[in-house]
Chain A
Amino acid sequence: MKIAVLVKRVPDTASVFKIAVDGKSVETANLKYVMSPYDEHAVEEAIKLKEKNGGEVIIVSVGPSEAKEIIRSGLAMGADSGLLITGAEALSPRGLAKVLAAALKTLAPDVIFAGKQAVDDDAAQVPERVAELLDMPHASVITRFECLGASVVVDREIEGGQYTLELPLPALLTTQKGINTPRYPTLPNIMKAKKKEIREMSVGELGLASEALAAGCTVEAFTLPRQERLRKVLEGESIQKVQELVRILRETEKVL
């Protein structure tokens, strides 16, 4: 069984973020990067499936060549090889999905796992787009996975409950936190991961037309969440305070 996992290199959310001078991007100089946390659950689920049914796990990522480190951490968890596509990291989810779909077509996996979203832009759509492009059934935000051979059964989290789906293979699934506990890499696996292959290819090698990669949307501006407090205490009767609060939220802060 061939299992692919889509992972993304993202800044650690604990980093100090600064907006770059262009106002449309984030300064990357002092950022620490990690594998997007939901992707770790995807890698874990893929390795568990491999341990049960045999096969191979391939970690696939789009990013700069530094993203190899992130792939390497998936290999240290027990995946077998990696594929990194460079030169496409600036693409919008639409273009990104096309690149990944083209690359995955050459791999022809039986199961594809991905985190439910990447914690940098929280777009939460690339894996689903990939599945649609590959014409694969897909289920997002799964909290349980079971392989029945030709099909898989998953639980999906929904507001206030969950429902269970059965999908024929090949299929794509995105993982939610509760599904498993990503393993802590062992030293022998870390050592082995250093020798495992990570294939690097540039987006050009996929032969996609540049208009196909055109952005569906573009970033206009980035702003940081405002952190300073107003330190304002409302006075008067409760009813007046509530009215005043609503007025401020609507007129001054324009959040309602």
Chain B
Amino acid sequence: MTLGGLLLVVLIVAAHAVFFARVYFIIRCIRLGQGSLPAAFPLLRMKDVLVKGFGQVLVLRQPAGIGHFLIFWGFFVLTYGTLEGLIAGVFPGFSFAWMGPFYWLMNTLQDWFGLLVMGALAVALYRRFVWRPRRLQASLAHTIDALIIIVLIAVLIKAFYAMRIIEPKPGFTPVTDMLRPWFVSVTGKAAHPMGYAAFHWLHNVVVLSFLVYIPFSKHLHLITALPNLYFRDEKRIAGRIPKLDLEAEGMESFGISKITEYSRKDLLDVTACTECGRCQEACPAYFTNKPLSPKEVVLGLKAHLFEECPALLRDRTAAPKKALYPDVIEKDVLWACTTCRACEEACPVEILPMSKLIGIRQARVLMEGDFAEEAQTALRNVETQSNPWGLPQEARGAWAEALGVKTLAEDANVDYLFFVGCAGSYDQRYMQVTRAVARLLQEAGVSFGILGAEECCTGDSAKRIGNEYLAQMLAQQNVDTMNGYGVKKVVTACPHCYNTIKNEFPDYGGNYEVVHHTELLAALMQQGKLKPKQGPATVVYHDSCYLGRYNGVFDAPRAAILASGTLKELLRTRSNSFCCGAGGGRMWMEERIGGRINEERSKEIIQVKPEVVATACPFCMTMISDGLKSEHRADIPLKDVAELLAEACGIVKKDVVEGE
């Protein structure tokens, strides 16, 4: 071994030592979390990693993802050459040539990918320093971080080409071949043994610096992103908030008040952030200038984790330097979240920023009783009258009186339970939607009944505000009532009820086939049981987060609209839909900071010049109605999909409006 080889060995060992020490530290940090990483169904998980990770499917949902795709695969291809180069640095003359055709192929790919990656890097630089889209506007430290990486990779590729120019390898390598004459003309000769050695060293040193730099930078995601995809927590996917065990022996603390109370998966999550800012770009709170950015939430937690861990690893009971709340996550950050889940949908590595916030909310509410007073009033109302307005529970079924809809107490022998929800039972405007749904079901001959005064709030708002205790009581009470009547199928006119009954009631022993009213109505149309007449109106449909993004119901409301008019899409639509601002209990809190989310959304709606605006959720209806009013466009009719369909089916308006 030459002296140079020895030096390289020392560098390789040192770089790996630093790298693995840091990785080990990060693993120990993650292991400070609760529980174990979810690992059931390894084959499905591997498939996820292949498709979403190696296939870059999530990354590619945005055009900028193409650049990442190239760098990602370029990394693997070029690593082949890097490895060869490193070994050859220690054992001069070493090569992978014995791999034959594969060697030829890899050399070819390296030549091509080198160029592609350089192109992607140029675009990355342009986006960060010239174009600067909002999601990439970051602090100086984060920008420098990005710059360092871009420069490192660029230098690597330059060195790579220089080496190949001087010492060609078998393969179809047009880029190198094209550069060679130019190189020769500049340097005056083709053979540069010294030059080769210099570039070889440069290449190796840069590679090793990169290795050391990765786990200390945002490029930690190179190590954590794929495991994060692998260990996805199916109990939490699609916004489901798992039931907390409130009766566990010896439990004294509920929700998250310390970073180590998060699950290991949560902690793995925060280490996997790529700082891409897609979540931030999608966040309605951030968009309206509130202090919440899901990206900053994740990065704040990551920094906090790494800051607290050294002390915690020495002593599990060490007092934290900073309080998770309010030092790391501030009050106005915590409560700004509408739980729209846009951040979780947007994240290319399936990080769940919203779930992190819910955990802290649970601690604020359950441990301290600390949340907005207006919301306290709403929840107290839910406690006494089982609806957030505090209207009499007895009057819950009053909307149905004139329509001849029976309660299950009167006749439990029906196919569907129509779970009406609080808004559908008490909100004057939404009661019309409830009646439209009921009339349509009657028209189509569906056998259904309601619970009337026996129905309770499902607890969606309570749960997302963080009052797990109240939410559990409500869920259990509803499940007991529904099971008591042997309910099998449920139709509901509220996406929040829908989501809770479908995804969370199973935790309480309530397993039902749940459909949203738009799904049932679309099916009835298809079966020819409803025969709407086509009308001329151009309808713009606003997707509800809890129906669309949460549960993937995009087509049914559209089918129902198409049967009665023409459909126009908003710019942000389907899974990209922009929240109305009412989810996560925000319906019951004042919106004091920044712009109003409902007004932003209403502006977008007004822009596309609709003749009618359609919604499929009581919260959306209230928020958009207010938004249209404040934009002075209350003249645009706002209707639920069911109301449009009722009109198209010739159902008498009086039935729906007055229920008489």
Question: A residues within 8 Å of B by Cβ?
Answer: 12, 14-16, 30, 32, 34, 181, 183-188, 190
Contact B392 A188 (CB under 8 A): no
* A187 partner, pick from B367, B371, B390, B391, beta carbons under 8 A: B367
Contact B365 A14 (CB under 8 A): no
Distance to closest chain A CB from B376 (angstroms): 5
A210 to B643, CA, bound (A): 64
* B373 partner, pick from A14, A15, A181, A187, beta carbons under 8 A: A181
Given A185-B369, A187-B366, residue A30 in contact with residue B394 (CB < 8 A): yes
Instruction: Tell me, yes or no, whether B368 is within 8 Å of chain A by CB.
Output: yes
- Could you list 21 examples of A-B contacts with CB < 8 Å? A12-B385, A14-B381, A14-B390, A14-B392, A15-B385, A15-B392, A15-B394, A16-B394, A16-B395, A30-B393, A32-B384, A34-B384, A184-B365, A184-B369, A184-B371, A184-B376, A184-B379, A186-B367, A187-B254, A187-B367, A188-B367
A12 to B365, CA, bound (A): 24
Distance to closest chain A CB from B455 (angstroms): 14
* Residues on the A chain within 8 Å of B469, using CB: 187, 190
* Residues on the B chain within 8 Å of A184, using CB: 365, 369-371, 376, 379
Q: Lowest 7 A-B CB distances belong to which pairs?
A: A184-B369, A187-B366, A16-B392, A30-B394, A186-B369, A14-B390, A12-B384
Q: Quick one: which of B228-253 are within 8 Å of A by CB?
A: 246, 252
A16 to B365, CA, bound (A): 31
Q: Using a Cβ–Cβ cut-off of 8 Å, how many residues does chain B contribute to the interface with A?
A: 25
Cβ proximity bits B347-374 to A, threshold 8 Å, 1 near / 0 not = 0000000000000000001111111010
* Residues on the B chain within 8 Å of A14, using CB: 381, 384-385, 390-392
* Residues on the A chain within 8 Å of B376, using CB: 184
A113 to B648, CA, bound (A): 62
- Other than the given A30-B393, A184-B371, A184-B379, 11 more pairs (CB < 8 A) read A12-B390, A14-B390, A15-B385, A15-B392, A16-B392, A16-B395, A184-B365, A185-B369, A186-B369, A187-B246, A188-B367
* Residues on the A chain within 8 Å of B368, using CB: 186
A186 to B365, CA, bound (A): 7
Contact B369 A32 (CB under 8 A): no
A186 to B469, CA, bound (A): 10
Name the residue among A34, A184, A187 with the largest chain B CB count within 10 angstroms: A187
Distance to closest chain A CB from B463 (angstroms): 14
Distance to closest chain A CB from B249 (angstroms): 12
* Residues on the A chain within 8 Å of B381, using CB: 14
Name the residue among A30, A34, A184, A185 with the largest chain B CB count within 10 angstroms: A184
* Residues on the A chain within 8 Å of B373, using CB: 181
A185 to B246, CA, bound (A): 15
* A183 partner, pick from B366, B367, B369, B379, beta carbons under 8 A: B369
A190 to B254, CA, bound (A): 13
Q: Which partner residue on chain A sits nearest B395 by CB separation?
A: A16
Given A12-B390, A32-B385, residue A186 in contact with residue B366 (CB < 8 A): yes
* Residues on the A chain within 8 Å of B365, using CB: 184
* Residues on the A chain within 8 Å of B453, using CB: 30
Distance to closest chain B CB from A140 (angstroms): 25
Contact B393 A32 (CB under 8 A): yes
Distance to closest chain B CB from A34 (angstroms): 5
Distance to closest chain A CB from B427 (angstroms): 15
Q: Which partner residue on chain A sits nearest B373 by CB separation?
A: A181
A183 to B373, CA, bound (A): 10
* Residues on the A chain within 8 Å of B379, using CB: 184
A30 to B393, CA, bound (A): 9
* Residues on the B chain within 8 Å of A34, using CB: 384
Distance to closest chain B CB from A78 (angstroms): 10
Name the residue among B246, B369, B370, B385 with the largest chain A CB count within 10 angstroms: B369
A14 to B390, CA, bound (A): 7
A32 to B383, CA, bound (A): 10
A34 to B392, CA, bound (A): 13
Q: Which partner residue on chain B sits nearest A34 by CB separation?
A: B384
* Residues on the B chain within 8 Å of A187, using CB: 246, 254, 366-367, 468-469
A102 to B394, CA, bound (A): 38
Distance to closest chain A CB from B158 (angstroms): 61
Q: Which partner residue on chain A sits nearest B383 by CB separation?
A: A34
Distance to closest chain B CB from A81 (angstroms): 21
A187 to B395, CA, bound (A): 30
A76 to B390, CA, bound (A): 21
Distance to closest chain B CB from A233 (angstroms): 23
Distance to closest chain B CB from A253 (angstroms): 28
Q: Which partner residue on chain B sits nearest A37 by CB separation?
A: B380
Distance to closest chain A CB from B358 (angstroms): 15
A180 to B168, CA, bound (A): 82
* Residues on the A chain within 8 Å of B384, using CB: 12, 14, 32, 34
Q: Quick one: which of B474-517 are within 8 Å of A by CB?
A: none
Q: Quick one: which of B381-432 are within 8 Å of A by CB?
A: 381, 384-385, 390-395
A185 to B467, CA, bound (A): 11
Q: Quick one: which of B302-348 are within 8 Å of A by CB?
A: none
* Residues on the B chain within 8 Å of A188, using CB: 252, 367
A183 to B366, CA, bound (A): 12
Distance to closest chain A CB from B374 (angstroms): 12
